[in-house]
Chain A
Amino acid sequence: MTSITLNNVSLVYRLFEKLTLSAPGRRRSALGGNIAKSGTKQVVQALDGVSFELKAGDRLGLVGPNGAGKTTLLKVLYGIYQPSGGTISIAGKVDALFNIHIGFRPEATGRRNIVLRGLISGWTAAEIEEKMEEIIDFSELGDFIDLPFKAYSQGMAARLAFAAATTLEPEILLMDEWIGAGDASFQEKAKRRMDELAEKAGIIVLASHDDALIQRVCTKKLTLRGGRVESLA
């Protein structure tokens, strides 16, 4: 059964450059995590005691001001960052869409990029071949699929990335912000696709500043501020 459980998770980034900060208490920012000192090193506390639980079918919207820790939390869920404290347990095959340019090679064609993306997610060449037409259809890219990825507009790149990631049927899908790049008709399509995914007992976590998008797509909303959970509803 697909599920995500976080218990008191924290994460600190260490800064390696020597910093001179202005006198304490002066430029406190409402944004970002806490800048603190640990031994001789400066650290940024990006997540601080985050706990929550998601079960099959949940669609969580992550909101909060810039620097609240949304991207960091998604990367912890994906397994890129090992938390500095706390425990995390995840059941299910996870896929993530962070930044359109991650995991795509600008020089390769869209088609080749789909193959690479599939291989990276652990699919065999035959399985990818089988899904290829479906991905191209869903993205509506047509002949553009055989042009190099660098020749795509942002929205076209977003369409391809979304089509590839969701057709490969992840059980847990993490998304950071950017599907906003697609046009209205694609967003409508993307929403339907996410509904299907959630109905198949998947979990979706979507970070966004777009309240309307969160309202439309998500069933739960987690507000982060300065790395702490402010509310969960």
Chain B
Amino acid sequence: MIAALNGAFDDISKAMRLHRVWIALAHEDIGDQHRRTTLGPLWMLVNYFAFVGTFAFVFVTKDASNPSYIAYVAIGMLVWFYLTETITMSVSLFQREASFIQGTTLPLFVYVMRLTMQCIIRAGYSLAGCVLILLLSGYGINTNWLLSLLGLLLLILATPAFVVVFAFLGAFFPDSEFIVGNLMRVGMFFTPVFWVYSGQEGVQEYAYHWNPFTYFLEGVREPITAGIFPGHSLAVTGYFCLGLWAIALLLLGLYRKRIVFLI
């Protein structure tokens, strides 16, 4: 156990010393994904606007009197897209990096940070879109936005742990790539991304209270749409983060040398 944790911390500290590598590689990745396109990474912004626009257009009729719905969807989509993208890309991370893993001795955490970095850069474009939507729908910048940053910070802190857990899952159980992919697609409907929970019973009640993603979303959203300090959500996400990091460290410590034989 102690040896495992030492191994994990060793891997992580080596990766941190190589931070220039994963920062450079993440930038290359973003560039590669949009090579030879005219809009380049701005496509991420277009994609985000298209989704928020569709949902706002389809569902706003009922809540037409309530402009905060657009803000609700805009922030919900921002966080949800970030989580989905991170998790689905994590599952196939080690397979995608096979040639580097089999050809260099970089610590595994370098690949984890590379993906984390890549997801954060991509989310940056959506974030810019989100801020624009908030401003246009009449939310001036105020101190509540700072509380939202707390939620975003927790989300970013949790990201490497998410990546490690799902990357190992994908390496040890190749089927999980398809299972996780489908679950995340369905998951959008079981998470309060675009529907508002106001005490309904049945499925929605469970989907709201027992879904960890709810709290990641609410931690960022509540300060802006409801103007409250999301104490409960932040506490739940905080504990969730700690648990996730504990699992991630154990996996990294115990199994990092096995990955190269599995891919």
Contact = CB atoms under 8 A, between A and B. Distances in A.
Interface string A83-108: 00000000000001011011101011
Interface in A4-60: 13-14, 16
B21 interface: yes
Nearest to A105: B28
A1 interface: no
A108 B104 contact: no
A80 B105 contact: yes
Nearest to B101: A80
Contacts of B261: 13-14, 81
A96 B105 CA distance: 10
Nearest to B23: A119
B104 A119 contact: no
B106 A120 contact: yes
Contacts of B24: 115-116, 119
B10 to A, nearest CB: 13
Contacts of A142: none
Interface string B13-51: 000011011001100100110010000000000000000
Contact of A107 (B35, B100, B106): B35
Contacts of A107: 28, 31-32, 35
Given A80-B260, A102-B99, A115-B24, A120 B104 contact: yes
Majority DSSP secondary structure for residues of B touching A? helix
B21 to A, nearest CB: 5
Contacts of B262: 16
Contact of B20 (A101, A112, A119): A119
Given A102-B104, A103-B104, A108 B28 contact: yes
A128 to B, nearest CB: 10
A78 interface: yes
Contacts of A101: 99
Contacts, number: 53
Question: Which of B21, B25, B104 is the most central at the interface, judged by chain A CB atoms within 10 Å of its CB?
Answer: B104
Interface residues of A, number: 26
Contacts of B260: 80-81
B138 interface: no
A33 B118 CA distance: 41
Given A81-B260, A102-B102, A103-B100, A119 B32 contact: no
Contacts of B35: 107
8 contacts: A75-B102, A79-B105, A80-B104, A80-B105, A102-B102, A107-B32, A116-B24, A122-B17
Given A80-B103, A103-B100, 13 more contacts: A80-B260, A81-B260, A81-B261, A96-B103, A102-B99, A102-B102, A102-B103, A107-B28, A115-B24, A116-B28, A120-B106, A122-B18, A125-B20
Interface of B: 17-18, 20-21, 24-25, 28, 31-32, 35, 99-106, 257, 260-262
Interface of A: 13-14, 16, 75, 78-82, 96, 98-99, 101-103, 105, 107-108, 112, 115-116, 119-120, 122, 124-125
